[in-house]
Structure 1
Amino acid sequence: MPKPVTLTTAGGVGHLQLNRPEAANTINMPLAKALGEAVDRVAEDDSVKAVLLTGSGKRFCAGGDISAFAESSDQGRFLSELASTIDAAVQALESLQKPVVAAVHGAVAGGGLGIMLAADVIIAAEGTSFVFAYPSIGLTPDCGSSASLPRAMGLHRALAFALSGRPLSADQALSQGLVTEVVVDPLTRAHEVVTAWMAGAPGALGDVRRMLREGSGLSRAEVGIREAATIGERMATAEAQCLIPAFLGR
């Protein structure tokens, strides 16, 4: 039976792929657990310096597997456990000290939005549809999207999107800050992004993504203390010791 999430590594890049194409990569318990396990392996593998996130088949992720929790004998308990499990995986992805690029296509709905927004750069295919989805079946968000969505779009745009029930086109998602780029071939463009990361200073980029993601939860004084400590630590790394002399010698 195919794994619900696959992880392949090559050239310092870890490729995480949601792999339930027959079910539009909807989130069930096996996928939620597998994503968390795969992200943990990426975190522990020092050879992986950057991450590519994709979905197999025709859609990136169509949200939760409604049939899975609709058939449960204790629907509320099952759904809470599923939400907790996939949230742990998304938090682990958000916390990686390695830059993440997502290539999305087809449809991104419900929990798929939260998974997607764990990436730092989001490349969308032309024609991709973005749907908040939860209220249409009487539910509320998971996968951290009640925090990540307004952070990406701004509060009022996020509220308008979430409350309207209407999907956003790829171009609308771009104009409202939900994605970074819209292209014909998002996978090729995402490979270009990670190739550029690997040719530069992926370790520094990992620290940058961590600092920017954590900065909003810190006071200005705490930000300054963390920045001073981190930049000092970075100075001792092989990356900095190689790149600074090269810069000075241009």
Structure 2
Amino acid sequence: MANTNPPPAIARIRYEDLGAVAHIELNRPNEANAIDQATAQELELAIEKASNNDDARVILITGAGARFCAGGDLHSVLAADEQADYLQELAQTLDSALRKLTQGDKPVVAAVQGAVAGAGIALMLSCDLVIADPSTKFALAYSGVGLTPDCGTSYLLPRAIGQQRALAMALMNRAVTAEEALAWGLITEVAEDSPSKERALDLARNLAAGPQFALGQTRRLIRGGWESTRAQVGAEEARTIARAVTTPESVKLLQKFATHRKTR
């Protein structure tokens, strides 16, 4: 008898627990990991799962296949009955997912390769440390199809590389190489000696072995600083460092520091 059961659906987002690292991978390699509404919803659920996983100390974001992320899935936009409504809903869903990623208290590492475009730039900038393959290209690409930035790109990009460079990428539809991206501050490191995914996983595991409270709160303070005044930042830093010094990790590290000084 022929098997009439439909094939199982392939997850658009893969989630994997790698010890203390929660691994989230965009899984549409044949579409350059372009994000449609279903993918955005799955991504948000995966981010929530990683954020609520007490065993996960670091989140790792990757993209399957040759390219990290081409941004929004324009084919799904063109196929929609109401394109404007669909695109607005897609942008809002993905923006919600990325805000959850940036507002969490776990460091986020990304490995990027091939191409990073459109909303893929916003996803990348929502991560704290970004490792790129040497051949990676970065482009906003919105103006090439008559669209405007979404998902917080116009907020995140000028804060990462400055207003003039952000405008050059946006208005001139300029592609940026990995070396330029490193020099501009768009990424953290170019992986010269190993694939970006291997280097990013090593980095994520090293962070996971570090002081969890201190790293998570440092991330929160730096990312939240854009929303606060200088006085508010200083006050929040004082409150947070007072909490940090009481954590078991800090107590142990301070004792190690004191012992080391005595033996010098």
TM over 0.5: yes
Q: Say which of 34, 37, 59 aligns to 1:29.
A: 37
The 5-angstrom pairing of residues 48-59 of structure 1 reads 48-59=56-67
Partner SS for 2:65: coil
Query: Of residues 68, 78, 83 in structure 2, which corresponds to 1:70?
Result: 78
Give the match's secondary structure for 2:227: coil
TM-fit CA distance, 1:24: 0.7
CA offsets per residue over residues 204-229 of structure 1, 9 Å max, x none? 11110110000121011111111111
Task: Calculate the aligned-residue CA RMSD, in Å.
Answer: 1.0
CA distance in 2 between partners of 1:247 and 1:42 (Å): 33
CA deviations over 1:1-50 (Å, ceiling 9, x no partner): 12111111122111111111111100101110011001111111111101
Match of 1:233 in 2: 243
In structure 1, what is the equivalent of residue 94 of structure 2?
A: 86
Where structure 1 has 5 or more consecutive residues not aligned to the other structure, the ranges are none
- Within the candidate set 106, 121, 127, 1:113 is matched to 121
User: 1:134 maps to which residue?
Assistant: 142
The answer on whether the counterparts of 2:20 and 2:205 sit within 8 Å (CA) in structure 1 is no
Q: CA–CA distance in 2 between the matches of 1:188 and 1:82?
A: 31
Aligned to 1:193: 203
**Matching residue of 2:158:** 150
Partner SS for 2:187: coil
Give the distance between the partners of 2:138 and 2:228, measured in 1 at CA: 31
Give 1 or 2 for the bigger CA radius of gyration: 2
CA distance in 2, matches of 1:25, 1:215: 31
Query: What is the CA distance between 1:182 and its match in structure 2?
Result: 1.0
Kindly, what percent of the aligned residue pairs are identical?
A: 43
Secondary structure of the residue aligned to 1:94 is helix
**Aligned equivalent of 2:3:** none
Q: Which runs of 4+ in 1 moved over 2 A?
A: none
CA distance in 1, matches of 2:170, 2:106: 30
Q: Report how many aligned residue pairs link the two structures.
A: 250
1:245 to 255, 258, 261: 255
Partner residue in 2 for 1:220: 230
Name the aligned partner's letter for residue 232 of structure 1: A
Please give the secondary structure, in 2, of the residue aligned with 1:57.
coil
TM-score, normalised on structure 1? 0.97
**1:88-127 CA distance string (max 9 Å, x none):** 0010111110111110001000000000111111110011
